[in-house]
Amino acid sequence: METVVALLSGLLTAAAVWLMLSGNLLRFLFGLLLLSNAVNLAIFAAGRLTEGAPPLLGADGALPGHEMANSLPQALLLTAIVIGFGLFAFALGLTIRAYRSFGHLEIDRMRLAEPEEGEK
Amino acid sequence: MSWTLALPILVPFVTAALAFLLRNRRGSGWISVAGAVVSLVLAIRLLLAVLEHGVVATQMSAWAAPFGITLVADYLGAAMVLITAIIGLAVAVWAMAEVGQTSARLGWHGLFQTLIGGVTGAFLTGDLFNLYVWFEVLLISSFVLLVIGGRKKAIDGAVKYVTLNLISTVLFLCAAGLTYGATGTLNMADLRAAVSAHPDQGLMTVIAMMFMIGFGLKAAVFPLFFWLPASYHTPHYAVSAVFAGLLTKVGVYALIRVFTLIFVGDQGYTHEILLWVACLTMLTGVLGAAAQSDFRKILSFHIISQIGYMVLGLALMTPLAVMGGVFYLLHHIIVKANLFLIAGVSRRLTGSSDLYVIGGLYRSAPLLAALFLIPAFSLAGFPPLSGFWAKYVLVKASLDLGQGLVAFVALLTGLLTIYSMTKIWAEAFWKAHPDQRQPALSAIPTRARWLLLSPIIALAAMTVLIGLIPEPFVTFATTGAEQLLDPSAYIATVLGGDAP
């Protein structure tokens, strides 16, 4: 199972890098979204995958005899997903503003803050 | 649970909530100023506690370490919190005169306090994942502060700032997750033993490199600095002052923390890279500044070159060098924020930040000219100002290790810094204004004038004070460096339960 998740995470990263290098702001953002999901999967897998093993202790607080899920990576993931969602929403809003201001989303043509030599 | 550590984080957020609720009232900025004063008092209280006990730590919700979230302050952490509070107060006062009613209605003061709260949290946390959360808090408020007002140029700068910082965040998150996967803990004090006991040290070095790239992007080191000069000259002057003073330094702080506390296993590899990065950062920053002709852009590039000095202190890893790095960090925040505030006043008087179309400030505003010279010379490392001692210690530390080339680069960077400062001096202050404007300070209404000038005077006074009486500050930084290089007290306090 870990192998599949690891491969999926790698695949998402590859797609993300390809999108992020395309030079278009919107594609860049989609790439970033894929990348953060790839990272989420990696964290999930790094915390060891278990199947149908609830993260519950026995009645007296003793460790149960069977396998136990690790709930901490899932808590980390939830936090990361929520934060990532907020940041992505802001970035999308910024993209809309950028499109309204410049009329395009080509990153290489956004030189307003850093004009090239000679065009002031 | 001890409130000494929790209150410096809580107060900015309470202030932020109040300032945000009352943002439509006139004078909502005073709430921010009042909150900043309280923060300053709390930061001093924390520093006194740290001076008394060495390291103070507390466990949130009384979950014993390493399972809960730890708040911890050693010398470095407490000093950073204090300096954050100082800059927070200075900029909050300055912003009263500079941030207009439109931006205030959009919640400028509340966002500013959120940013300060996030920075403080990052300096006080003892948990790696919690550090990530604080990074996000300060990042999202910095995003909004950057674009508030919505000028086209600011949007352009924000696109680069936001995208590159998001990549750094993802890298940091990934590294933190992998660290947990490999060691089963996220508590920084607990991680030191866990990382050094891990059977696969190669894997640990890989994770360490991910942290280095993630934090390096935040700290704007070579070759990851491109977002900084693209964005720092675009927002409000108050915003760029607090960004310049504090934000990149959070990255430097995180680098220092992680590479002195957690990843010290393969220093021949990691710290060698840091050494090269430090030298190249110093040089590219200062050379980039030489090519610029805009007040704030020159200052932005100088942030990069100065970051190089701090990383140099970390890279050399001797007690003297780390002491120099810590001293540099503290001195630089005051100087840099002050220079941006002065740039803001200069812009207000002369109408532009382009050095070729302004001038005449020396004749018409001699007070501002004198105030500029203090941080400018300190930045370049003139005795007896604070920057001189910081540079002196770092150069001596490199020479002690036989790193002549490194010392040469550090000195050359200092020399070239003088070049840029002279350029600003000659263009903005010395030469006559091209349009024969007489930009006098008295043109600003009295109330606004004092709001603008008093933070600048206070920060300049601190620079002079550190320069004239360096002894207590050097002693402080030396103890701080000892704690960083031998974190046994830090680890014992964090893992040993609830300290006072």
For the segment B260-316, what is each residue's pLDDT rounded down to a tens digit?
999 988 888 889 999 999 999 999 999 999 888 888 999 999 999 999 999 999 999
* Exposure letters A66-92 (e unless 16+ CB within 10 A, then b): eeebbebbeebbebbeebbeebbebbe
Tens of pLDDT, residue by residue over B2-11, are 788 899 999 9
8 Å CB contact of B162 and A94: yes
Task: Tell me if B189 is assigned to some domain.
Answer: no
Task: Tell me if B254 is assigned to some domain.
Answer: no
B198 touches chain A (CB under 8 A): no
Q: Helices in B291-428 by DSSP H: which ranges?
A: 295-316, 319-350, 361-364, 366-380, 386-400, 404-424
Q: How far is B93 from chain A (nearest CA, A)?
A: 28
- If 0-12 CB within 10 Å is exposed, 13-18 middle and 19+ buried, where does residue B83 land? buried
User: Is the model's pLDDT at B498 over the cut of 70?
Assistant: no
Do the Cβ atoms of B62 and B68 come closer than 8 Å?
Answer: yes
Tens of pLDDT, residue by residue over B195-238, are 988 888 999 999 999 999 999 999 999 889 988 988 888 888 99
8 Å CB contact of A72 and B180: yes
C-alpha of A80 from chain center: 8
Do the Cβ atoms of B286 and B344 come closer than 8 Å?
Answer: no
B210 touches chain A (CB under 8 A): no
**From B132, B159, B229, residue closest to A94, measured CB to CB:** B159
8 Å CB contact of B177 and A36: no
8 Å CB contact of A114 and B144: no
Task: Tell me if A85 is assigned to some domain.
Answer: yes
- If 0-12 CB within 10 Å is exposed, 13-18 middle and 19+ buried, where does residue B106 land? middle
B151 touches chain A (CB under 8 A): no
Return the SS3 of B25: coil
Minimal-distance CA residue of chain A relative to B294? A114
Q: What is the amino acid identity at position B50?
A: V
Task: Tell me if B318 is assigned to some domain.
Answer: yes
How far apart (Å, rounded) are the C-alpha atoms in residues B166 and B168? 5
Query: Measuring CA to CA, how many Å separate B375 from each of A53, B7, B56, B289, B290?
Result: 61, 32, 33, 17, 18
8 Å CB contact of B163 and A35: no
Structure confidence at residue B354 (pLDDT): 84
B68 touches chain A (CB under 8 A): no
User: Is the model's pLDDT at B111 over the cut of 70?
Assistant: yes
Task: Tell me if B192 is assigned to some domain.
Answer: no
Q: Which domain holds residue A17?
A: 2-50+70-109
Q: What is the amino acid identity at position A69?
A: A
Q: What is the band of A119 on the pLDDT scale with cuts at 50, 70, 90?
A: very low
How far apart (Å, rounded) are the C-alpha atoms in residues B395 and B399? 6
8 Å CB contact of A73 and B181: yes
Tens of pLDDT, residue by residue over B377-417, are 998 888 888 888 889 999 999 999 888 899 999 999 999 99
Task: Tell me if A116 is assigned to some domain.
Answer: no
Per-window interface: B 225-244 vs A, CB < 8 A: 229-231, 233-234
Work out the number of other CB atoms within 10 angstroms of the CB of residue A56.
Answer: 10
Task: Tell me if A59 is assigned to some domain.
Answer: no
CATH code, domain carrying A81: 1.10.287.3510
B144 touches chain A (CB under 8 A): yes
Q: What is the ipTM of this complex?
A: 0.91
Structure confidence at residue A115 (pLDDT): 76
Return the SS3 of B59: strand
Q: What is the amino acid identity at position B113?
A: Q
What share of chain A in percent tops pLDDT 70?
A: 96
For chain A, list residues whose CB is within 8 angstroms of any CB belonging to chain B. 25, 28-29, 32, 35-36, 39, 42-43, 45-48, 72-73, 76, 79-80, 83, 86-87, 90-91, 94-95, 97-98, 101-102, 107, 110-114
Tens of pLDDT, residue by residue over B309-362, are 999 999 999 999 999 999 999 999 999 999 999 999 988 888 888 888 888 888
Query: Measuring CA to CA, how many Å separate B347 from each of B47, B249, B300, B332?
Result: 36, 25, 16, 22
Cross-strand bridge partners of residue A106 = A24
Structure confidence at residue B440 (pLDDT): 79
Token representation of residue B188: 């920084």
Structure confidence at residue B500 (pLDDT): 39
- Number of domains composing chain A: 1
Minimal-distance CA residue of chain A relative to B174? A39
**Residue that has been written with the tokens 């950073």 in this structure:** B80
8 Å CB contact of A32 and B167: yes
C-alpha closest to that of B327 among B260, B250, B391: B391
Task: Tell me if B109 is assigned to some domain.
Answer: no
The residue with greater pLDDT, B383 or B168, is B168
**Residue that has been written with the tokens 């891990």 in this structure:** B198
Tens of pLDDT, residue by residue over B446-491, are 888 888 999 999 999 999 999 899 899 999 999 999 999 998 889 9
Structure confidence at residue B499 (pLDDT): 42
8 Å CB contact of B136 and A83: yes
User: Is the model's pLDDT at B45 over the cut of 90?
Assistant: yes
- Number of domains composing chain B: 1
Cβ within 8 Å of residue B100, ≥6 positions away:
none
Radius of gyration of chain B from Cα atoms? 22
Partners of B162 on chain A (C-beta within 8 Å) are 90-91, 94
Q: What is the amino acid identity at position B255?
A: L
Q: Which domain holds residue B436?
A: 268-468
Task: Tell me if A61 is assigned to some domain.
Answer: no
Q: How many helices (H) and strands (E) does chain A have?
A: 3, 0
Q: How many helices (H) and strands (E) does chain B have?
A: 22, 2
What average pLDDT does the segment B46-58 reach?
A: 90
pLDDT averaged over every residue in chain B = 89
B177 touches chain A (CB under 8 A): yes
What average pLDDT does the segment A61-90 reach?
A: 85
What average pLDDT does the segment A58-64 reach?
A: 75
**From B136, B156, B180, residue closest to A110, measured CB to CB:** B156
Do the Cβ atoms of B326 and B483 come closer than 8 Å?
Answer: no
pLDDT averaged over every residue in chain A = 86
Tens of pLDDT, residue by residue over B132-161, are 999 999 999 999 999 887 688 888 888 889
Q: How far is A65 from chain B (nearest CA, A)?
A: 20
- Best mutation target among A19, A36, A39 (most B Cβ atoms within 10 Å) is A39
Q: How far is B372 from chain A (nearest CA, A)?
A: 25
Q: What is the amino acid identity at position B232?
A: Y
Do the Cβ atoms of B210 and B178 come closer than 8 Å?
Answer: yes
Q: Helices in B220-318 by DSSP H: which ranges?
A: 227-231, 237-242, 248-257, 267-290, 295-316
- Phi, psi angle pair for B171, to nearest 5°: -60, -45
